[in-house]
Amino acid sequence: MERSVDLHLHTTASDGTMFPAELVKYAVEKGLSGIAITDHDTVDGIAEALEEASNHDIEVIPGIEISVEHKVEIHILGYFTKNNYTNIIKVLRVMQEAREERNKKIIKKLNEFGFDIHYEEVKNEAKGNIIGRPHIARVLKNKGYVSSMKDAFNKYLGRNGKAYFLRESKLSPEKAIQEILKSGGVPVIAHPILLGFGRKELEKLIVEFKQFGLKGIEVFYTENTTEQTSMLKIIAEKYELIKTGGSDFHGDNKDGIEIGKGKGHLKIPYSSIEQLKKLLE
């Protein structure tokens, strides 16, 4: 059987619902030969995941998914070795502060709509230090204000929602990419199709980010169509970037996504890890 991997996963350290060790065991059960932990703006879950990995036959790569602003919100994945993932921590504080600010604005807006929702309750939904929209969504759902997490994003929290606010942070893609490189990591642009750009605009962005030091594109992704994946493969090859992939599994915080499989058709080749490891050497 061809080995498959999943290089985009969230734990309770950010907005996933599985604890890091639980997620590693789950990946082993599902037959994956390698995974990367890529929590939003934190590396808090990694030590536990690496510890658990030592009991199993699975490769666990320390990673991160950093949110940056570049007119729109863009996510940059960073992949590290076991020894260097902690160096990135200081840059993340900027993003964590911007999260706090934005969460408060969202909650205030929801209060204006008449919803009884408080920051403390949202904080209680999070098991780690990163508080994000999924935690707000869960409170809205638990209180019956929305029918599902998706409903919460469609109506209120998503880009076209009534309580949407962009995070105001000074973290630029250039800074995030360069800090990942400085820490000895590999920067990869996450799920570029979600940006909603046309091909020309996307290539322009990739060229710009490559100048900053970008090394890869997340080509294989849950939401991509076959055509979109083919297009990303072509772009990656054209600009000599590595091709990685992941499901963006969040446990019960994102419905219908399975680890390693996405919505069923996703398959991320082991070559993603090989290409990554070559750059990490």
Q: Tell me which amino acid residue 165 is.
A: F
Q: Which of 41, 179, 218, 248 binds Zn ion (CB under 5 A)?
A: 248
Q: Does 150 bind ligand AMP (CB under 6 A)?
A: yes
Tell me which residue of 141, 9, 3 sits closest to 79, measured CA to CA: 9
Q: Which of 132, 173, 185, 251 binds ligand AMP (CB under 6 A)?
A: 132
Q: What is the spatial distance between Cα 29 and Cα 10, in angstroms, rounded to a whole number? A: 17
By beta-carbon proximity to ligand AMP, the closer residue of 59 and 125 is 125
In the complex, minimum distance from the CB of residue 55 to Zn ion, in angstroms, rounded to a whole number = 26
In the complex, minimum distance from the CB of residue 83 to ligand AMP, in angstroms, rounded to a whole number = 27
Q: What does the block give as tokens for 1? A: 């059987």
53-72: contacts with Zn ion (CB under 5 A): 65
- Span from 52-60, 132-140, 170-178, 222-230 in contact with ligand AMP (CB under 6 A): 132-140
Q: What is the spatial distance between Cα 223 and Cα 110, in angstroms, rounded to a whole number? A: 29
Q: Which of 17, 33, 39, 40 binds ligand AMP (CB under 6 A)?
A: 40
Q: What is the spatial distance between Cα 8 and Cα 134, in angstroms, rounded to a whole number? A: 17
149 interacts with, out of Fe ion, ligand AMP, Zn ion, none, CB within 5 to 8 A per kind:
ligand AMP
Strand-pair partners of 188? 77, 216
Q: Does 134 bind ligand AMP (CB under 6 A)?
A: yes
Calculate the alpha carbon distances from 28 to 34, 48, 77, 265, 274 in Å.
9, 15, 23, 19, 19
Q: What is the spatial distance between Cα 108 and Cα 118, in angstroms, rounded to a whole number? A: 9
Q: Does 245 bind ligand AMP (CB under 6 A)?
A: no
Binding pattern for the stretch 246-265 against ligand AMP, x by CB under 6 A and - elsewhere:
----x---x-----------
10-39: contacts with ligand AMP (CB under 6 A): 15
For residue 94, with 0-12 CB atoms within 10 Å meaning exposed, 13-18 middle and 19 or more buried, which class applies? middle
By beta-carbon proximity to ligand AMP, the closer residue of 96 and 178 is 96
By beta-carbon proximity to ligand AMP, the closer residue of 11 and 275 is 11
